[in-house]
Amino acid sequence: MSFYAFLGAIEQGLVYGIMALGVYITFRILDFPDLSVDGTFPLGASVAAVLIVHDINPYLSTIIAFFAGVVAGVITGILNTKLKILNLLSGILVMIALYSVNIRIMGQPNTSLLGYDTIFTPIEAFFGAERYMISPVVFLVVVIFLVIAMTWFFHTDIGLGMRGTGDNPKMVRAQGINHNFMVLLGLAFSNGLVALSGALVAQSQGSADVNMGIGTIVAGLASVILGEAFLDARTVFRGVLAVVLGSVVYRFAIAVALSFRVGSFQLNPSDLNLITAIIVTSALVSPGIKKVFKSRL
Amino acid sequence: MIELKNVTKIFNRGTINENVAIKGLSLKIDQYDFITVIGSNGAGKSTLLNLISGNLTPEYGEIFINDKNVTNLPVYVRASFIGQVFQDPLSGTAASLTIEENLAIALKRGKKRGLGLGVKRTDREFFKEQLSKLGLGLENRLKDRVGLLSGGQRQAVTLLMATLVKPEILLLDEHTAALDPKTAAKIIELTEYFVDEYKLTVLMVTHNMRQALSLGNRTIMMHEGEIILDVRSPERDTLQVKDLLEMFARVRGEELVDDKLLLA
């Protein structure tokens, strides 16, 4: 693997790691399989891209994109908690609705950011460094901030309530916690992060596309599961760290698989979904493999 | 003081499975009452507890806690008055959270939850002191996840959590039924200790008639959604299990046929 591909995998692992952190909140903390992220990821990208094209400050645009995700998450939450629609279906409804919404926002299926200032432009100018060096560092800073913030949040009273809600809603209600509100709050936060990830990806690759969200949930889940296979998530901090680690490992595994060559046979980018399925499957069975090895020793 | 006025609960109303679980029931629970509730399966014991806790809302009638009408308040609002221990020892605690985190959630019952740290250093000392009362050595395992504990240990922690903030009423729904006899005896011992220590008002459902008579100061017997017997100390003190059975037969004009009640 070239140095360029190596940096690329780290960069992608980190920026999609932000999305994976959002997926971690819904899937692991809240036990809510939220599929709306396939729509909120491009939502964040679309909102940020359109605002940037309209000469809004890229940092402000990115923050607004985060809140667009928050709103989408709240809608999923309302469908589930107030209208009593099954959690899986609530997410799917928001996901498909967002497909149309995203095209409305952009007025077209995609928006190019070529030639516009992004959040990277001032940093590049300040350090006088190239983009491929700058963006991994920027993403790393954001990820470190999020890991610290999430670890702190999940140890506060509200954070404990949210973790309890996913674990044992009956107990949480009996202890005076409005569990529906916790679900709403978690979905808002989660989808905000996913939209933020979308906004950053759009700016780093130079365009937003309505189809860029396809498979977001699978990549997010793959990261969560891979991370747990590598790092035993006993504490919240380790759990959150595992997600980021999993996301980076996932991107590396894809990069390695794509450079894989036997004779004249080579894998294509179109084989990505198959590769992902194989990676997730092997991560899922890995604890079993470890056990077999241990019992033989 | 808790008061139920003419409460009726109907399940599957308007369908072929319609079932009147509680029929115009009125009950006044005085402060410091420790009431044991007995009755055969389907008598409405658990439904009664669920109506008080807010898991269920009645079709008719009203429920008051300290003269406040709570009939339509959701569970999490009523929780500030109520401590609960369930039959399933796993349902009162969150397995993936540590012992201290579970206790921290319980310590905030009825209080506002914000973005302050859930488990503070000062809380830890308090939790240790409280856990040592259980006599299970859990005071040295604050950072262990609750999922690592046995069912009996978890039920003991649940009991502690239900009383950590003094409730207006403690609802115990056959909270020893799923435990082995030795652990069940330990939980009963702890229950008596906490009730005595904090001067609690208790409503306890049990299938064990001997236990029903030996614990607390008042026993009510339910049948088909109604209270058919309500005895207090001192009249209750001389009662035997066979007296209860006779009373049941006299009131209903039928034999009590429930193995679980007779064998217990």
Q: Where are the beta strands (DSSP E) in chain B?
A: 2-11, 19-29, 34-39, 60-65, 68-69, 82-85, 169-173, 202-205, 218-223, 226-232
pLDDT (mean) for A193-210:
97
- Sign, CA dihedral A176-B70-B2-B205, equals negative
Radius of gyration of chain A (CA): 19
Which domain, by its residues, includes B208?
Answer: 2-93+155-263
- Along the 264 residues of chain B, how does pLDDT read in single tens digits? 899 999 999 999 989 999 999 999 999 999 999 999 998 888 899 999 999 999 999 999 999 999 999 999 999 999 999 999 999 999 999 999 999 999 999 999 999 999 999 999 999 999 999 999 999 999 999 999 999 999 999 999 999 999 999 999 999 999 999 999 999 999 999 999 999 999 999 999 998 888 999 999 999 999 889 998 899 988 888 888 888 888 777 776 655 555 555 554
Q: ipTM for the complex?
A: 0.90
Tell me if B4 sits within 8 A of B65, measured CB to CB.
no
What CATH number did the domain enclosing B58 receive?
3.40.50.300
Is there a domain that residue B104 lies in? no
> Cis link prior to B89 (omega < 30° from 0)?
no
Question: Is the CB of residue B77 less than 8 Å away from at least one CB of chain A?
Answer: yes
* Helix (H) / strand (E) containing A262: strand A261-262
CA-nearest residue of chain B to A179?
A: B76
Q: Provide the domain count of chain B.
A: 1
For residue A293, give the 3-state DSSP assignment: helix
Q: If DSSP codes are grouped into helix, strand and coil, which group holds residue B45?
A: helix
Say if A149 is an interface residue toward chain B (CB within 8 Å).
no
Which of A170, A173, A175, A189 to substitute to test the interface with B, most B CBs within 10 Å?
A: A175
- How many separate domains does chain A show? 1
| Domain-embedded: residue A71 | yes
Domain that holds residue A20: 3-212
In a domain, residue B11? The reply is yes
Tell whether B73 is within 8 A of chain A (Cβ): no
Instruction: Flag whether B105 is in a domain.
Output: no
> Is residue B81 a contact partner of residue B261, using CB atoms and an 8 Å limit?
no
Q: Is A217 on the interface with B (CB under 8 A)?
A: no
B68: phi > 0 → left, psi -120 to 50 → alpha, else beta; which? beta
The reply to whether B109 falls in a domain is no
Mean pLDDT, residues A247-269 taken together: 87
Does a structural domain hold residue B118?
A: no
CB atoms within 10 A of CB B189: 11
For residue B240, give the amino acid letter.
Q
Q: Does A175 touch chain B (CB under 8 A)?
A: yes
Say which residues have a Cβ less than 8 Å from residue B239's Cβ, sequence separation at least 6.
Answer: B213, B219, B231
Instruction: Look at residue B20 and tell me if it is in a domain.
Output: yes
Quote the tokens at residue A197. Answer: 């990830």
Residue A124 maps to a domain = yes
B93–A172 C-beta distance less than 8 A: no
- Residue A236 is assigned to a structural domain of this protein: no
